[in-house]
Structure 1
Amino acid sequence: MAVTISQDQHGTIIQYAGDKRPIKIEPFVIKYEEDSEILQQVMGFVVRESNAPHHLAKMEESKFYALVERLSVMACRKFSPLRNWGVSKQEIRGIVLFVLQAGIAAGEWPTAYEIRHNTFVQDGRGRLE
């Protein structure tokens, strides 16, 4: 099955396998210092639990998104982000995808990650709501 990616008003929806429900991904927006700490914990977890980026780059697209979901579930079990931090599973998926894509783009795990307005991790400090 081909992977289909669509957008809705809140995030990205990815259908990666015919027998699985689509996954929804929302950006994780850093608003407070605590959010930076949450991001660092989840990023460290993803790096520890993932294969090297050069292996990830060779994955079929559907298997890559299955990995995003698997790592997101594992992170949610480890951290209980909604209960402990008020962070949804969709946002955890955003962090996972952000880290994996950055690693693939760099060919290794980066020492610094570029956060922009169109990435799955965004800096919301200083923005008016």
Structure 2
Amino acid sequence: MYTLYGIPNCDSVKKARTFLEANSIPYTFHDYKKEGISKAKLTQWSKQLGWENLINKNSTTWKELDEAIKNDVTTQAAAINVMMEYTSAIKRPIIMKDDAIVAIRFNEAEYQKVFL
């Protein structure tokens, strides 16, 4: 079973969910807005991808952060603190199976390789 992490109104999350459902791929949805995200999970992801690859610097949330907050994100610990407080600043969707990230963001060609 896969777990898809994201927020429901994100276009990339919607595309990912549509792809999974259209291909009968079972998954559970973890809504950052309602459920939050743990420090342990962000640490695990950072080890797999690097914290720099988890922050969505193109997101409205990131762009609207105070410059001092953004400038302080120079370490994994600082990045995790920001991502825990501002979950919309995390790239999405992130899809996991067991303890491994199998996909980040939505790319149909990549999804076809991973899931089909």
Q: Provide TM-score, normalisation by structure 1.
A: 0.27
Q: Which structure carries more relative contact order (alpha carbon 8 Å, separation 6+)?
A: 2
Higher helix share: 2
